């Protein structure tokens, strides 16, 4: 009998099982040929999550989970998962490796969701990080560690936009007098030819796999192994340098490849410097297209105070984050600060976080949750925050979608300027009849309708919807039919989440109904938008994602 898991063979029955006296299995995260990774809760540290890799041993030394644990326990690097526990094979042949839970998505998942190739600058940054990690692994004092299985599905991007290399199942220590690996393993299409043909690998084999990964991601999913065609990239010096590096990394002869990760990293850094120089030169000449320096911007506000603008902004961010889209939620300097309390900033804000009101020109330590970055006003500084240089600050946010909460300050001059630049404007109202009677409510609605009539992408959203006798009358009170209706979230859920310092939008009991309420609107509204240069905003797969999940 398995001493850690129930005897039930199906994964559903395993959920809820506690093993090792500490780790309660929640649900499967992913499954491979010989192992399954589960999300687990720590019963001794409430709220702490772990990833548990359950592997059936097959007697092949290169596939031993114990070997994977031994390799990882020797390593300590921010781009690697941290191992905390290992349970050797039980009587059924299953071993269990307990690791840090990484909140993020793999490069393969990002690639599959994206409409076209992933952005070149992002891929260069991720590749530089991988080279930094490979330098560390290849230069171990005890001898180089060769990963041997670099590919998009083994590279995670975490919530800090950093790579995390996962699945060390076939990694090995390189031995100088060893001319062949015990078992010639690797993924066809990404593994170096010397590994597949001769069963031998060294540091340059990992560099080949890095090149194969870049080729795959930059050529719409084709593999160099199958095509044997040089990578063609359109653009300037950056693309030319990158294509040349990929070709060198993919050379069949290891001696003709870059001989170390440091060499490859230096070329990648030159690609970035070339890109920065081009951007600076173009900016100085006034030639930078708008779509290269700004992405999608959504302005969200309420028709009156308390309508739920902040709740709606965070809900949109939550859905975008679930779709793997990096986004930022910004509290406009004029609003009453709510995010700090909602997110329990006293407990959860990074120690060196620079609040929006005091953020230096070069930016501060980011505060992120999932794929969302929070740009928060500290309650103590409320009212003392200046909107001077607001536009410059917004441009420095590195996210595909920026969501700005302007509260009910629609007619303020600095907010009007934001509305002029917004791709989407969202006005929120709830069923409270007394607030609908306020004179300003009508003024705000009229001003927004004027923008809509002039061609602006203005949408009204009904918030806190409940079943009551006058519900139809309420919905007909909007200037136009609401684009979406958000159901009321129980006050108990909001309070419970607030005390936990987590957005209620991410709670399992709340997320499905919010997804159902807004997914269609997001898929239909955000996808068709184009930037001012006529190009897609880079999230064209969003409609497909939401239409499938709705």
Q: Binding site membership for ATP: which residues?
A: 53
Cα separations (Å) of 211 from 122, 128, 162, 217, 224?
Answer: 15, 12, 19, 10, 9
Nearest-CA neighbor of 314 among 432, 489, 435, 442? 489
The CA-based angle 192-198-203, given to 5 degrees, is 45
Backbone CA torsion sign across 518, 345, 414, 397? negative
User: Distances from the Cα of 451 to the Cαs of 415, 427, 448, 480, in angstroms?
Assistant: 13, 12, 5, 13
Q: For the chain, how far is it from start to end, CA to CA, in angstroms?
A: 41
Quote the CA–CA distance of 465 and 354 in Å, as a whole number: 36
**Dihedral pair phi/psi, residue 71, rounded to 5°:** -65, -50
CA nearest to 173, candidates 198, 199, 202, 195 = 202
Q: Are 399 and 361 in contact (CB under 8 A)?
A: no
**CA-based nearest residue to 483, from 433, 534, 448:** 448
Q: Binding site membership: which residues?
A: 53
- Burial pattern 418-433, b for ≥16 Cβ within 10 A else e, equals bbeebbbbbbbbbbee
CB 245 within 8 A of CB 264: yes
- Report which DSSP code applies to 504: G
* DSSP structural state of residue 236: S
Q: What is the rounded distance in angstroms from the CA atom of residue 451 to the CA atom of residue 411?
A: 12
Yes or no: say if 296 and 422 are a contact pair by the CB < 8 Å rule.
Answer: no
Q: What whole-number distance in Å separates Cα of residue 264 and Cα of residue 138?
A: 13
Structure tokens at 136: 């560390």
Radius of gyration of the chain (CA): 26
DSSP state of 477: T
Query: Nearest 5°: CA angle at 216, between 212 and 221?
Result: 155
Helices 261-284, 120-138: axis angle to 10 degrees equals 150
Strand partners, 35: 55
Indicate if the alpha-carbon torsion angle 221, 225, 229, 231 is positive or negative.
positive
Helix, strand, coil percent values for the chain (each to nearest 5):
40, 20, 40
Alpha helix ranges (H) inside 285-438: 290-293, 309-322, 339-342, 345-348, 390-395, 413-421, 433-436
């Amino acid at each position: 009998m398995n001493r850690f898991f129930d005897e039930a063979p199906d994964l559903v029955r395993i959920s809820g099982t506690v093993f090792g006296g500490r780790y309660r299995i929640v649900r499967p995260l992913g499954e491979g040929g010989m192992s399954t990774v589960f999300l687990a809760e720590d019963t001794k540290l409430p709220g702490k999550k772990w990833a548990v890799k359950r592997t059936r041993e097959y007697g092949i030394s290169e596939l031993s989970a114990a070997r994977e644990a031994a390799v990882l326990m020797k390593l300590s690097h921010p781009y690697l998962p941290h191992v905390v526990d290992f349970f050797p094979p039980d009587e059924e042949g299953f071993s269990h490796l307990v690791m840090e839970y990484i909140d993020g998505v793999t490069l393969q998942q990002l690639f599959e969701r994206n409409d076209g190739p992933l952005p070149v600058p992002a891929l260069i940054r991720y590749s530089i990080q991988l080279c930094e990690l490979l330098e560390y692994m290849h230069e171990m004092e005890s001898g180089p560690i060769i990963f041997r299985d670099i590919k998009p599905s083994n590279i995670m991007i975490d919530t800090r936009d950093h790579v995390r290399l996962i699945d060390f199942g076939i990694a090995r220590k390189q031995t100088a007098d060893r001319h062949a690996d015990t078992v010639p393993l690797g993924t066809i299409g990404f593994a170096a030819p010397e590994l597949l043909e001769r069963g031998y690998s060294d540091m340059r084999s990992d560099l080949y796999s890095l090149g194969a990964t870049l080729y795959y991601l930059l050529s719409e999913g084709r593999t160099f192994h199958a095509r044997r065609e040089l990578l063609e990239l359109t653009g300037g010096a950056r693309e030319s340098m990158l294509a040349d590096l990929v070709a060198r990394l993919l050379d069949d002869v290891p001696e003709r490849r870059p001989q170390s990760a440091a060499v490859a990293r230096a070329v990648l850094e030159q690609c970035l410097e070339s890109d920065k120089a081009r951007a600076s030169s173009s900016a100085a000449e006034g030639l930078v297209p708008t779509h290269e320096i700004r992405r999608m911007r959504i302005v969200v506000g309420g028709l009156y105070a308390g309508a739920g603008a902040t709740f709606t902004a965070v809900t949109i961010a939550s859905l975008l984050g679930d779709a793997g889209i990096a986004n930022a939620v910004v509290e406009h300097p004029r609003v009453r600060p709510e995010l700090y309390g909602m997110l329990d900033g006293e407990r959860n804000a990074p120690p060196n976080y620079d609040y929006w009101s005091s953020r230096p020109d070069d930016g501060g330590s980011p505060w992120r949750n999932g794929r969302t970055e929070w740009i928060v006003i500290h309650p103590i500084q409320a009212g003392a925050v200046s909107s001077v240089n607001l536009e410059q600050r917004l441009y420095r946010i590195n996210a595909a979608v920026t969501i700005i909460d302007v509260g009910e300050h629609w007619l303020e001059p600095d907010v009007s300027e934001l509305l002029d630049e917004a791709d989407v404007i969202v006005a929120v109202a709830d069923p409270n009849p007394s607030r609908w009677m306020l004179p300003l409510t009508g003024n705000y609605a009229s001003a927004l309708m004027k923008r809509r009539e002039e061609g602006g992408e203005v949408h009204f959203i009904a918030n806190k919807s409940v079943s009551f006798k006058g519900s139809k009358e309420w919905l007909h009170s909007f200037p136009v039919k609401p684009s979406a209706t958000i159901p009321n979230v129980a006050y108990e859920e909001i309070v419970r989440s607030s005390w936990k310092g987590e957005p209620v939008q991410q709670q399992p009991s709340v997320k499905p109904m919010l997804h159902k309420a807004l997914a269609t609107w997001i898929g239909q509204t955000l996808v068709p938008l184009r930037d001012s240069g006529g190009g897609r905003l880079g999230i064209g797969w969003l409609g497909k994602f939401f239409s499938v999940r709705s």
